[in-house]
Chains A and B, each alone.
Chain A
Amino acid sequence: MKFEPVEVSERDDELRQEARSWIAATLPTGSFRPGQGLHGDIHSPEFSRKLAERGWVGMSIDPQYGGGGRSPLERFIVVEELLRVGAPIGAHAVAERQTVPMLMLHGTQEQRDKFLPAIRAGEAYFSVGMSEPNAGSDLAAVRTKATRVEGGWALSGTKIWTSGAHQRPYCIVFCRTEPPSEDRHAGFSQLLVDLRGPGITLSPIHFMDGSHQFNEVVFDNAFVPDSMVLGQIGNGWNQVMQELSLERAGPERILSTWPVLEAFLAGRGTDDDGLDEVLGRIVARLWIIRQMSLSLTQAFAEGSSLRGEGAIVKDLGTNFEQEVVSSLLALIDEVPELDSPERWETVFAEALLMTPSTTIRGGTVEVLRSIVARAARDDDS
């Protein structure tokens, strides 16, 4: 596997300091509810716009579309600092992390002109249209189909889990444009869909803590114009695999529970017996997973795809996110309560309910380990 040490420059350090200062000024502790993972996808158009004004949404978008043309490493640095405090980046996170690169790789000029400046301004929000009731880990079992009509496509089918679809109206929908054949991966495409259009119905799926994050999205002959086909008709499988790899190896899969630790230490204090060892173990693990993530960020910037390596980082990272919470829980005698007046405790309680999701969403660790094992076999040959 290809992991390489990354040395950051002084300019990178300066950017990190700038991000830290801006975040401290814009989101003083206690002034906002820190999100973690699922809830860290806290939808705040206001914050997204502020961040965009600062130039930190869609940092790596080409300047011709209003972007800063910054490197993936620079984006990594800013995103890390945002995740550290649990900043409400939920409105723009998917758009910036996945949609932007997909538009750069596969978008038409018209699509780029329509979406990139809006994403860059923190005003265009995207959700992910992949999973279905009968197609979770097995994405090739997707049944939502688009049939040819005049000027475009009629989309019918059901997507499920679609996080934030009720708040983030644009969606890249993975669907069949050809009937199933011998080749399981043939006949798929991706369509850029506005979920507010006719023939589309959203219903909430409540998470186990009662919150509304997930949705079921039913398409009933919803019209999608030709101009909103992303990439090539029939190339959907390759495209969706690329999109998945974009969301695997970054700090979003490592740091989503970090705010729990910081809140714990600040709010509860540092007197718990055994805290030093637990903290050291967490920090040592974070240190190496971070080095791996940095390595991949650099490699992606240079155009490598590294599927096995991305799966490794997501497996280690999402398990780490759970470990932060479980190892702190092991230190204390009382179960945290959601309605505690102590902020550290409510954040902790929310995390307990949220963390089962980390090793499931975006690719279960079981699937990831299959990918790793296969990559290791290929490496060896």
Chain B
Amino acid sequence: MSVDPLESTVADILAEAWNLDAQQRAESEGWSSDCWEMLAKAEMPWVGVSETSGGAGGTIADATKVVRQVGRYAAPVPVAETGLIGGGFAASLGIEVPRGIVSVAVPSRDDALRLDAAGNVSGVLHRVPWGRHASAVVAIADAESGQRVVLLDPAAGKTEERDNIAGEPRDKLTFDKVGVPADNTADCPEEAVDELFLRGALSRVALVAGASRAVARMAVKYTQERHQFGRAVGNFQAVSTRLAALVEESEAAYLASRVLTSRLENETHGKRLGDYEFEIAAAKAATARSAAEVSKQGHQVHGAIGMTREYPLHRFNRRLWVWAHEYGSERYWNKHLGWTLLANGVDSIWPTVAAGRYTS
């Protein structure tokens, strides 16, 4: 397989930085400042954010590569939010992105943020990834004139720390008439909201892809090393059948992410992220399905040891459960795909699949 230089650089950094010491520190800190520092030194979190907006440059395709490797190591660092999602999105609207941890509030029904005429923001944001560590949070607020993108400073509001099932920070942020400089706001048309959501979906596809590959490698290795009844457990057909299913789904997930990277790199469908909506939707739904199988088979072939805190499997599987569901669950994207295809006409279904973009 061809090795991408950017991906292998990120992988090398993480292979070194995400060592046992770092893992232990992350247990108590709730994230890995070690990994973050090493990645930040190489500017990796800001790949995909334009230099003119304070980023490291590089394309959105490059950003997906970085995130894929973060998933591969399940490194608890807010790289996806800083570059691919929040930073990249804010920069695309002309907002300067500070060097630091950037997070994003996923547009959701639970949140209500208002921007008043005086430029003050009030409201609540739920489940903000890495909210407690972020120096800036990208969010969407309702204003008189319509929706606005705002860059908020969490320190100006109140943070309630909460973790998701994978132990990742998903904090509740409350703002009470917090002033936001005009430079930190921008118009947010409906397509921009869609784009933010698509960036998030892209990030989760990449993370799931990386983590799935890691689980597959771990399972293959473990089932060769673990011996019972006088042989490697992986040589029992009942086990190797599960391993095969796991490997198949992990390969599917990994290719799905690489296909999206390739499309973006080649501008296959156009210059707007919305042009890639069909394949992003298909990839998100497909990887969510694969993630479920990978995590299930991953646990089963590891037996009891895979359920322990000490053994690393849970760090990947818990994240697979979360990432498969964020920015649209499998069901959400299946329904979205089906609905759109039916609206475009049943004759459009095959041509859409073959072309990789919606046709009518």
A→B interface (CB under 8 Å): 1-5, 7, 13, 16, 20, 80, 84, 258, 261-262, 265-266, 270, 275-281, 283-292, 295, 309, 312, 315-316, 366, 368-370, 372-373, 376-377, 379-380
Distance from B113 Cβ to chain A, minimum over Cβ atoms (Å): 31
B217 touches A279 (CB 8 A): no
Query: In the complex, which of the residues A315, A316, A368, A369 has the most CB atoms of chain B within 10 Å of its own CB atom?
Result: A369
A283 touches B245 (CB 8 A): no
CB-CB < 8 A to A316: which residues of B?
Answer: 248, 252
CB-CB < 8 A to A3: which residues of B?
Answer: 1, 251, 254-255, 258
CA distance A31 to B240 in the complex (A): 47
**What would be 11 A-B contacts, judged by CB atoms less than 8 Å apart?**
A2-B1, A4-B2, A4-B258, A279-B337, A279-B338, A280-B281, A280-B336, A281-B334, A287-B283, A289-B252, A291-B256
A288 touches B286 (CB 8 A): yes
- Within the complex, which residue of A5, A7, A283, A292 is in contact with B338, where a contact is CB–CB below 8 Å? A283
CB-CB < 8 A to A20: which residues of B?
Answer: 351
B1 touches A284 (CB 8 A): no
- Within the complex, which residue of A270, A285, A315 is in contact with B342, where a contact is CB–CB below 8 Å? A270
What is the chain A residue whose CB lies nearest that of B219? A376
- Which of the segments B16-24, B260-268, B317-325 contacts the partner chain? B260-268
Contact A4 B337, CB 8 Å, known A258-B350, A277-B331: no
Query: In the complex, which of the residues B251, B266, B335 has the most CB atoms of chain A within 10 Å of its own CB atom?
Result: B251
CB-CB < 8 A to B341: which residues of A?
Answer: 279-280, 283
CA distance A195 to B9 in the complex (A): 60
- Chain B, 214-242, CB within 8 A of any chain A CB: 216-217, 220-221, 224, 234, 237, 240-241
| CB-based closest 8 A-B pairs | A276-B338, A280-B334, A280-B337, A280-B338, A5-B262, A284-B285, A369-B244, A373-B240
B305 in the interface (beta carbon within 8 A)? no
CB-CB < 8 A to B261: which residues of A?
Answer: 5
B247 touches A312 (CB 8 A): yes
CB-CB < 8 A to B220: which residues of A?
Answer: 376-377, 379-380
Q: Mark B316-360, 1 if CB is under 8 A from A, else 0.
A: 000000000000001101111111011000100111111100000
Distance from A248 Cβ to chain B, minimum over Cβ atoms (Å): 13
B→A interface (CB under 8 Å): 1-2, 216-217, 220-221, 224, 234, 237, 240-241, 243-245, 247-248, 251-252, 254-256, 258-259, 261-263, 266, 268, 279, 281-283, 285-286, 289-290, 330-331, 333-339, 341-342, 346, 349-355
B342 touches A287 (CB 8 A): no
CA distance A205 to B168 in the complex (A): 60
What is the chain B residue whose CB lies nearest that of A84? B350
B350 touches A7 (CB 8 A): no
A288 touches B255 (CB 8 A): yes
CB-CB < 8 A to B346: which residues of A?
Answer: 262, 265-266, 270
CB-CB < 8 A to B350: which residues of A?
Answer: 84, 258, 262
A287 touches B279 (CB 8 A): yes
B289 touches A284 (CB 8 A): yes
CA distance A7 to B334 in the complex (A): 24
What is the chain B residue whose CB lies nearest that of A295? B255
A292 touches B241 (CB 8 A): no
What is the chain B residue whose CB lies nearest that of A373? B240
CA distance A1 to B247 in the complex (A): 9
CB-CB < 8 A to A2: which residues of B?
Answer: 1
CA distance A379 to B350 in the complex (A): 35
CB-CB < 8 A to B251: which residues of A?
Answer: 1, 3, 292, 309, 312
CA distance A266 to B346 in the complex (A): 7
CB-CB < 8 A to A376: which residues of B?
Answer: 216, 220, 243-244, 247
Distance from A366 Cβ to chain B, minimum over Cβ atoms (Å): 7
CA distance A276 to B285 in the complex (A): 13
B339 touches A276 (CB 8 A): yes
Contact A7 B262, CB 8 Å, known A291-B256, A292-B252, A373-B244: yes
CB-CB < 8 A to A5: which residues of B?
Answer: 255, 258-259, 261-263
- Within the complex, which residue of B217, B245, B354 is in contact with A369, where a contact is CB–CB below 8 Å? B245
- Within the complex, which residue of B244, B255, B349 is in contact with A372, where a contact is CB–CB below 8 Å? B244
B216 touches A277 (CB 8 A): no
Contact A315 B354, CB 8 Å, known A283-B341, A283-B349: no
CB-CB < 8 A to B290: which residues of A?
Answer: 288
What is the chain B residue whose CB lies nearest that of A261? B349
What is the chain A residue whose CB lies nearest that of B339? A276
Distance from A284 Cβ to chain B, minimum over Cβ atoms (Å): 4
B247 touches A284 (CB 8 A): no
CA distance A376 to B243 in the complex (A): 9
B285 touches A373 (CB 8 A): no
Distance from B228 Cβ to chain A, minimum over Cβ atoms (Å): 17
B286 touches A315 (CB 8 A): no
- Within the complex, which residue of A1, A292, A366, A380 is in contact with B221, where a contact is CB–CB below 8 Å? A380
Distance from A7 Cβ to chain B, minimum over Cβ atoms (Å): 5
CA distance A275 to B286 in the complex (A): 17
A366 touches B241 (CB 8 A): yes
CA distance A379 to B234 in the complex (A): 14
A277 touches B334 (CB 8 A): yes
Distance from A14 Cβ to chain B, minimum over Cβ atoms (Å): 12
B243 touches A284 (CB 8 A): no
CB-CB < 8 A to B349: which residues of A?
Answer: 261-262, 265, 279, 283
Distance from B325 Cβ to chain A, minimum over Cβ atoms (Å): 15
CA distance A37 to B205 in the complex (A): 33
Distance from B252 Cβ to chain A, minimum over Cβ atoms (Å): 5
CA distance A341 to B263 in the complex (A): 45
Distance from A381 Cβ to chain B, minimum over Cβ atoms (Å): 9
CB-CB < 8 A to B241: which residues of A?
Answer: 366, 369, 373
CA distance A261 to B337 in the complex (A): 16
What is the chain A residue whose CB lies nearest that of B262? A5
Distance from A122 Cβ to chain B, minimum over Cβ atoms (Å): 25
CB-CB < 8 A to A369: which residues of B?
Answer: 240-241, 244-245
CB-CB < 8 A to B266: which residues of A?
Answer: 7
CB-CB < 8 A to A279: which residues of B?
Answer: 337-338, 341-342, 349
Distance from B336 Cβ to chain A, minimum over Cβ atoms (Å): 7
Distance from A313 Cβ to chain B, minimum over Cβ atoms (Å): 9
Can you name 11 extra interface pairs (CB under 8 A) apart from A280-B341, A284-B282, A373-B247?
A: A3-B254, A4-B258, A5-B262, A262-B346, A276-B338, A277-B334, A283-B337, A283-B338, A289-B252, A291-B255, A376-B244
What is the chain A residue whose CB lies nearest that of B253? A288
